[in-house]
Structure 1
Amino acid sequence: MPLVETAFQVVDAFTDKAFAGNPAAVMILEKFPADDILFKISREFNLSETAFIVPKYEGSTHEFHLRWFTPTAEVPLCGHATLASSHVLFTQMTEKQRQSGPLRFHTLSGELSVEFKTAAPEKLSTRNEMSLPELVMTPDLSIDRNVLCDAFGITENQILFVGSCHWGVLVEIDASTTPLHAIKPNFKAIASVNASAILLATQCGTDLHGEYDFISRMFAPNLGVNEDPVCGSAHSVLAHYYANKLKKSEFKAFQASARGGEIHVVYDAVAGRVRIAGDAVTVSKGVIYM
Structure 2
Amino acid sequence: MASFLYPTKHSKSRNEFHIRWFTIAQEVELCGHATLAAAYFLFSTGLEGDEITFHGKSGILVVKKVESTQGGNFEIQLDFPALTVGECGEEEIPLLPETLNGASMTSVKKTSAGDLLVELSSVKDLMNLRPQFDEIRKCKGRGVIVTALAPIETGYDFLSRFFCPKVGVNEDHVCGAAHCVLTPYYSEKLKKDNFIAYMASERGGKLVIEYKKDANRVIIRGEAIIVMMGTLLV
Q: Normalising by the residue count of structure 1, what TM-score does the alignment of the two structures yield?
A: 0.74
Distance in 2 separating the partners of 1:146 and 1:274: 27
Deviation at 1:143, TM superposition (A): 4.7
Identical positions, percent: 35
Identify the residue that residue 243 of structure 1 maps to in structure 2: 187
Going from structure 1 to structure 2, the CA distance change for 1:239 and 1:173 (only over 3 Å counts) comes to same
Deviation at 1:154, TM superposition (A): 3.0
Alignment of 1:73-92 (within 5 A): 73-92=26-45
Distance in 1 separating the partners of 2:153 and 2:201: 13
Deviation at 1:161, TM superposition (A): 1.1
TM-superposition CA deviations, 1:93-115 (whole Å, max 9, x none): 36xx224xx21111100001101
Answering whether residue 140 of structure 2 is matched by residue 190 of structure 1, we say: no
Query: Whose relative contact order is higher, 1 or 2, with alpha carbons under 8 Å and at least 6 apart?
Result: 1
Deviation at 1:142, TM superposition (A): 3.2
- 4+ residue runs over 6 A deviation: none
Distance in 2 separating the partners of 1:269 and 1:263: 18
Equivalent pair of 2:111/2:181 in contact (CA under 8 Å): no
Alignment of 1:1-290 (within 5 A): 49-57=1-9, 60-93=13-46, 97-99=48-50, 102-118=51-67, 126-143=74-91, 145=93, 147-155=95-103, 158-167=104-113, 168-175=115-122, 178-205=124-151, 210-290=154-234
Deviation at 1:226, TM superposition (A): 0.4
Deviation at 1:51, TM superposition (A): 0.2
Equivalent pair of 1:128/1:279 in contact (CA under 8 Å): yes
Distance in 1 separating the partners of 2:153 and 2:63: 28
SS at match of 2:25: coil
* Structure whose alpha-carbon radius of gyration is higher: 1
Q: Normalising by the residue count of structure 2, what TM-score does the alignment of the two structures yield?
A: 0.91
One-letter identity of the residue aligned with 2:120? I
**What's the Cα RMSD here?**
2.2
One-letter identity of the residue aligned with 1:174? S
Q: Which runs of 5+ in 1 are unaligned?
A: 1-48
Equivalent pair of 1:134/1:273 in contact (CA under 8 Å): yes
Distance in 1 separating the partners of 2:173 and 2:141: 18
Q: Which runs of 5+ in 2 are unaligned?
A: none
Distance in 2 separating the partners of 1:272 and 1:189: 34
Distance in 1 separating the partners of 2:139 and 2:153: 28
User: May I ask how many residue pairs the two structures share in their alignment?
Assistant: 231
Deviation at 1:60, TM superposition (A): 4.2
SS at match of 2:33: helix
Distance in 1 separating the partners of 2:9 and 2:153: 45
